[in-house]
Amino acid sequence: MKKRSSILSAIVLIAVCAIYLVQHETGFLSGLMSGGGEQGDVPEGLMEIPACDADDVILTHNGFVISYNAEARIPYWVAYELTDEETRGDLDRDEYVFKMDPSYNSTQAMREDYYDYQWSRGHMAPAADFEWDAEAMGETFYLTNICPQDRELNKNDWNYLEKQVRAWARQFGKVWVVTGPIIGTNKYGTIGDRDVVVPDSFFKAVLAYKNGKYHSIAFTMDNDDKRYWLDDCAMTVNDLEAITGIDFFPLLPDDVENTVESQLRLPFWNIRER
């Protein structure tokens, strides 16, 4: 079962933007999202999308959306909704290979840029979150969805956080996820002939809905092989917005967004403080 095709996703985004542009004469999605609305007014499938500007490179795929940083050859962010049902797919990732994104007709990373032992090809939209559909899972291997990520971080603590997101999707029925790199000071430089930027760290913001209320949490982990406990690297979404400059979950009504994004309640997310 496909969540939505790339074409349909693009049509939804363009239609919503067009309506808002006519009414408010402002940038691509940004005004709509900063305005918020009642829960019933939130367009299906758009809750996870951060605020965007008119010149942003937006790539839509089956089940996830990328804001692409063409200069750095990595995404700004990747956003998707993950449901309980979607966490129960059983496709095998071994048949897929990393490749260039056919939806973006300009310079992007290539596989050989990652021929460096220190840095793995780190999925932002994890392949394991898309085992419900072969095409969707294959699209997570597009290099527009990939960042140079420390190998130990990729297979250990970042992987653990991704598993927790799937657990939350099962617990709450669905979650909305935004994840991506933080370039920071770019202390690791670039890799490959196309100068793919190596991020200083990574972030993840998660929104859930339970018993008539929204709840949010955010995380950052540095791009190294250190140990990252969830209670140590958890923060409010407001704190993450201050770090990244990204406006997360702006389709929430303003009063709800202000409250939800300022709270950090670890017990709600089954995270124990050590």
Q: Can you give the chain as a three-state secondary structure string? A: CCCCCHHHHHHHHHHHHHHHHHHHCCCCCHHHHHHCCCHHHCCCCCCCCCCCCCCCEEEEECCEEEEEECCCCEEEEEEEEEECHHHHCCCCHHHCCCECCCCCCCCCCCHHHHCCCCEEEEECCCHHHHCCCHHHHHHCCEHHHEEEEEHHHHHCHHHHHHHHHHHHHHHHCEEEEEEEEECCCCCCCEECCCCEECCCEEEEEEEEEECCEEEEEEEEEECCCCCCCHHHHEECHHHHHHHHCCCCCCCCCHHHHHHHCCCCCHHHHCCCCC
pLDDT for 1 beyond 80: no
pLDDT for 5 beyond 60: no
pLDDT for 88 beyond 90: yes
Q: Place 118 in a pLDDT band, splitting at 50, 70 and 90.
A: confident
Q: Catalytic residue numbers?
A: 123
Entry pTM: 0.86
1 located within any domain = no
240 located within any domain = yes
Q: Check residue 16 and give its pLDDT.
A: 37
28 located within any domain = yes
Residues of the chain above pLDDT 90, percent: 78
Number of domains in the chain: 1
Q: Check residue 274 and give its pLDDT.
A: 81
Instruction: Give the domain range for residue 108.
Output: 6-269
247 located within any domain = yes
Q: Place 182 in a pLDDT band, splitting at 50, 70 and 90.
A: very high
Say which CATH number the domain at 26 has: 3.40.570.10
Mean pLDDT of the chain: 87
Q: pLDDT, tens digit, for every residue of 232-267?
A: 999 999 999 999 999 999 999 999 999 999 999 999
Q: Check residue 23 and give its pLDDT.
A: 32
Q: Check residue 3 and give its pLDDT.
A: 55
